[in-house]
Amino acid sequence: MSPTVLDNIRGSEIPPVWLKKTKENPNKIFKITIEVKQEETSKETVQKKANKGKWAKVAERLRGEGFLTGKSEEANKLIKNFRNNFEI
């Protein structure tokens, strides 16, 4: 994800803690660049995967396109019926 740039921000609009770190005059105009830390995104992804229950993972895997390839028509109907009516 590309960073977001905020341009022409008055020092008075910046949180005081940030302004203190810059050691700049609050009357100046600032350009702020914001980007998401990659490690934070990775933690969110891992946590989302961990929150899924066993049956949610099974249902997600069954939704895959190639799962029914090579099976008989009868089996396809039974499996599709189960998959479509499965509730979590």
Tell me if 46 is assigned to some domain: no
pTM check: above 0.85: no
Tell me if 79 is assigned to some domain: yes
Residue of 49, 57, 15, 52 whose CA lies nearest to 32: 15
Tell me if 44 is assigned to some domain: no
Are both 88 and 57 inside the same structural domain? yes
Tell me if 47 is assigned to some domain: no
Sorting pLDDT into bands at 50, 70 and 90, what band is 71?
Answer: low
Q: Which pLDDT score is estimated for 29?
A: 93
Tell me if 12 is assigned to some domain: yes
What does the pLDDT average to over 65-69? Answer: 64
Tell me if 11 is assigned to some domain: yes
Sorting pLDDT into bands at 50, 70 and 90, what band is 86?
Answer: confident
Distance from C-alpha of 72 to C-alpha of 66, rounded to nearest angstrom: 14
Sorting pLDDT into bands at 50, 70 and 90, what band is 67?
Answer: low
Tell me if 28 is assigned to some domain: yes
Residue of 60, 7, 50, 54 whose CA lies nearest to 29: 7
Number of domains present in the structure of the chain? 2
Range of the domain at 25: 4-34
pLDDT tens figures, 22-65: 889 889 999 999 998 877 555 666 666 666 788 877 777 777 66
